[in-house]
Each structure stands twice: as structure tokens, then as C-alpha cells.
């Protein structure tokens, strides 16, 4: 199975499995990777996967074709792997799709004779400032730790957790630096996306080394003459062929709030024991439509980013059938247009990987209108 950005998944999974730790396939968007890492489990974040509808044969037997591409593709991965490399699944309650998939996939894998464990974490949909909500969430984390201890090679320890949290915070900080460098022309945006998505299948220690090497080669350079700076916003980055069309049309990506990039990197939580760390992590995350208590802050946060990076327009990359993002688009478009920023909403589904022609026409027309 191919990843859109990171090559063939099979060798990457096999390699992780060969490292001798249990491998947990984590559902997007923001699983507690530090916790899994600290207990000796390798987290694999199942996004950035490829596959058009003709390749999603296993998934389509289980999941309706009006589920988003993220859900269909990760279903294909889990059913195809069928427990060869993935020892467990880990799900947070990001959306209805993610909430319902673990049981469906567990049954699908079970039919192939493999018993797959799955774990979940419930993140409250209301703010955690309220002490009872925070206490409820702390209990969820503790319960999750108890359940993970059945799979993990080592029990939870606060010291190990702090070390893992420090590693992931360093990775986020590196992501921020690379993102800023890319916005100044020091790193092609396509390379930045590849770095972010390869990290999903790579041990964090190796991603850190790769990111540091990348950062050394970044040298700010002016955007191409007459290029229009734009922000890309959405759950997943568009396919590489589409980025090429943007560039050829005279648009320069000066920033983004894509989920695997800036939304993931924007903030490093304070070092603390796991319940405290994750209360901070989920409550004060860069706004994301799937973290409901943060969603109200999204327009201002995105506007701040656009102003900071000197953007003239925002291109929304809609993930087809993702109701969370689609609820917000009408309001966001109106809000940004009121702030003098042009907007364009595009929609990508499972069959848009190679077929970018329809989007190319729209992006060219948009670029032309901005150049006037
Ligand atoms: S793209 Fe949207 S619907 Fe699909 S898994 Fe992500 S949040 Fe859920």
C-alpha cells in the first residue's frame, strides 16, 4: 500500500515491527503518542495514506463510500495488514468516523483469524476548566494507562513519560522552525509536507535527526517575483501534483493550518505527569475543528497566522465527507472575506490523487483574479 507522500507503507511497518516493540496503529488526529512511546509501544499515525477507490477493496466491504478518504484508507491499511505488523489500534474520539471504526475493523481482522486489541481515549467535548470535567478526563487517562499496561513492555512511569514528552515537544518545536523557514522560502512546502507525513511511520528519534538535518539546509530566499502568498487550511495536505499546479499558477504557500503540520506543531504543552500534560495538550491545542472546545478560537488564530506570514488569501482544502470541517467553512469564508482576504474552497476525495485537472482550472482562475 502506498502513502501519498512517504512511499510504500509495508517496509516502514515491517521495520517498526522488527524493532521488537508492539506497534499501535493510531487513528488521527492527535493521539497521545508520548504516552505510548513512554511505555515502549511504537505509535503509527494512520494518515497521509494513498489509494483510489479501485485500491480500497477491503475497506469498501466494511465501510461506506461516503466516509472520508482518511477513514477509508486507514481501514484498507488495517484490513490489509491484518495484524501482521499492527499489534493494536488506538482511537481518540475525534469524529463519528473514528469513533465507530475500531469495532468494525476489529471484526474485519477477526474474520481473517486475527484477534486485534484496541484501546481508546475519550477527550471531553466541553472545556476542561471545570474541575469535574478535568477530573473525569484524568480518570480516562489513568484508565487508558491501566489498559495499555496489558500490551506494553513496561509499566507507566512519570519519569519515562517526561522523557518521551520532552522528545515529542522537541519534535514539535523543530516542526515550527521548519514551517516558519518554509514560509520564508527556505524550504519547499512540498518537502515540509513530506517531512511531516513521514514522521507518522518513523520513530520520533529518527524524525528529530531528519528534521535537524533539514533545518541546517534552510536558507531564507525571497518568494518568486509576483508570487501571491497564501495560507493552506484543512485536515490533510492536497496531493503533490496539486501543489505543483499552485506553484505554476503563481501562488506561494507562506503558511498553513493543516492538521499534520501547523495544527500539530504550533504548541508544546508544559512538561507534567500524563493526566496534567494531556489536559493542557487538548485544551490549549492550536484550534482544530475536531477539538470542539478550541474551535471557537479558530478564525482569530488563523487570521493571526495569515497576518504574521503576510498572506493575501486562504485556500481551504476540504476533505470530502468530513462534516467537522464543512460545518465551519461557510462561516470562515465570510469571516476572512470581511478581513480583506480572498478565499477559495476546494474539495478532495479518494479519487483526486492523480486527477487534479478540475482543481487546476479553479486554482489558475483564482491566481489570475489575485494577480489583477
Ligand atoms: S477527515 Fe474528518 S471525518 Fe475523516 S477522520 Fe478526519 S476528522 Fe474524521
Annotated domain spans of the chain = 2-155
Q: Given pLDDT bands bounded at 50, 70 and 90, which one contains residue 26? A: very high
Residues 170-177, mean pLDDT to the nearest whole number: 98
Ligand 1 contact via 97 beta carbon (within 6 Å): yes
Q: Is the CB of 290 under 6 A from ligand 1?
A: yes
Following DSSP, what letter does each residue of 308-344 receive, concatenated?
A: HHT-SEEEEEEETT-HHHHHHHHHHHHHHHHTT-EEE
Whether residue 344 has pLDDT greater than 80: yes
Whole-number Å distance between alpha carbons of 280 and 317: 28
Give the pLDDT band of residue 356 (cuts 50, 70, 90): confident
Cβ(179)–Cβ(185) below 8 Å: no
51 lines ligand 1 (CB under 6 A): no
What pLDDT is recorded for position 372?
67
Reduce the DSSP state of residue 293 to 3 states and report it: helix
Q: What is the pLDDT of residues 248-282, one digit of tens each?
A: 999 999 999 999 999 999 999 999 999 999 999 99
Q: Which of 70, 89, 200, 259 to mutate to test the pocket of ligand 1 (most atoms within 8 A of CB)?
A: 70
For 346-368, what is the mean pLDDT?
A: 88
- Average the pLDDT over 289-293 and give the result: 91
Using a 6 Å cutoff on CB, does residue 322 contact ligand 1? yes
Name the closest-CA residue to atom 7, ligand 1: 95
Kindly report, residue by residue over 187-208, the tens digit of the pLDDT. 999 999 999 999 999 999 999 9
Q: What is the best residue among 30, 59, 68 to mutate for testing ligand 1's pocket, by most ligand atoms within 8 Å of CB?
A: 68
Tell whether ligand 1 has an atom less than 6 A from the beta carbon of residue 4: no
| Spatial distance between the Cα atoms of 178 and 191, rounded to a whole number of angstroms | 10
- Residue 1: the pLDDT is 66
Please give the pLDDT value at position 232. Answer: 98
Atom of ligand 1 nearest to the CA of 321: 3
Å from CA of 91 to ligand 1 middle: 12
Ligand 1 mean position to 320 CA, how many Å?
A: 9
Separation of alpha carbons 102 and 92, rounded Å = 10
Sheet holding 23-26, edge to edge: 42-45, 23-26, 88-92, 117-121
Question: Considering only CA atoms, which residue is closest to atom 3 of ligand 1?
Answer: 322
Angle at alpha carbon of residue 351, lines to 317 and 249, rounded to 5°:
50
pTM of the predicted model as reported, rounded to 2 decimal places: 0.94
Would you place residue 44 in the very low, low, confident or very high pLDDT band (cuts 50, 70, 90)? very high
* Range 8-25 average pLDDT: 93
β-pairing verdict for 251-258 and 313-319: unpaired
For domain 2-155, which architecture applies?
Answer: 3-Layer(aba) Sandwich (3.40)
pLDDT band at 2 (very low <50, low <70, confident <90, very high): low
| pLDDT of amino acid 8 | 81
Is the backbone peptide bond immediately before 82 cis, with ω within 30 degrees of 0?
no
Q: What length is written for the chain? A: 372
With bands split at pLDDT 50, 70 and 90, how would you rate the model's confidence at 5? low
Amino acid at each position: 500500500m502506498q502513502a501519498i507522500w512517504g512511499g510504500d507503507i509495508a517496509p516502514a511497518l515491517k521495520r517498526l515491527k522488527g524493532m521488537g516493540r508492539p506497534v499501535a496503529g493510531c487513528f488521527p488526529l492527535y493521539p497521545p503518542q508520548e504516552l505510548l512511546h513512554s511505555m515502549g509501544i511504537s505509535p503509527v499515525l494512520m494518515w497521509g495514506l494513498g489509494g483510489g477507490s479501485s485500491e480500497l477493496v477491503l475497506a469498501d466491504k466494511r465501510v461506506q463510500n461516503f466516509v472520508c478518504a482518511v477513514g477509508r484508507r486507514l481501514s484498507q491499511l488495517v484490513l490489509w495488514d491484518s495484524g501482521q505488523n499492527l499489534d493494536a489500534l488506538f482511537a481518540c474520539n475525534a469524529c463519528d468516523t473514528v469513533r465507530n471504526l475500531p469495532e468494525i475493523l476489529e471484526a474485519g481482522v477477526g474474520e481473517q483469524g486475527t484477534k486485534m486489541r484496541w484501546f481508546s481515549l475519550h477527550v471531553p467535548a466541553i472545556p476542561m476548566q471545570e474541575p469535574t470535567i478535568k477530573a473525569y478526563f484524568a480518570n480516562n487517562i489513568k484508565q487508558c494507562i491501566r489498559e495499555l499496561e496489558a500490551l506494553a513492555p513496561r509499566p507507566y512511569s512519570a519519569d519515562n513519560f517526561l522523557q518521551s514528552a520532552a522528545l515529542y515537544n522537541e519534535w514539535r518545536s523543530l516542526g515550527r522552525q521548519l514551517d516558519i523557514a518554509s514560509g520564508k522560502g527556505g524550504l519547499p512546502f512540498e518537502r515540509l509536507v513530506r517531512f511531516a507525513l513521514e514522521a507518522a511511520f518513523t520513530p520520533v528519534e529518527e524524525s528529530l535527526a531528519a528534521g535537524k538535518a533539514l533545518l541546517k539546509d534552510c536558507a531564507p530566499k525571497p518568494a518568486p517575483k509576483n508570487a501571491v502568498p497564501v495560507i493552506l487550511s484543512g485536515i490533510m495536505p492536497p496531493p503533490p501534483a496539486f501543489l505543483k499546479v499552485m506553484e505554476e499558477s503563481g501562488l506561494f504557500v507562506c503558511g498553513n493550518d493543516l492538521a499534520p503540520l501547523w495544527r500539530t506543531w504550533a504548541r508544546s504543552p508544559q512538561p507534567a505527569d500524563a493526566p496534567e500534560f494531556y489536559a493542557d495538550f487538548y485544551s490549549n491545542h492550536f484550534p482544530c475543528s475536531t477539538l470542539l472546545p478550541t474551535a471557537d478560537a479558530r478564525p482569530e488564530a488563523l487570521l493571526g497566522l495569515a497576518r504574521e506570514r503576510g498572506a493575501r488569501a486562504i485556500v481551504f482544502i476540504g476533505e470530502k465527507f468530513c462534516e467537522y470541517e464543512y460545518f465551519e467553512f461557510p462561516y470562515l469564508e465570510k469571516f476572512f472575506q470581511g478581513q480583506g482576504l480572498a478565499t477559495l474552497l476546494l474539495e478532495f476525495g479518494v479519487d483526486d490523487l492523480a486527477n487534479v485537472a478540475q482543481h487546476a482550472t479553479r486554482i489558475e482562475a483564482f491566481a489570475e483574479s489575485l494577480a489583477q
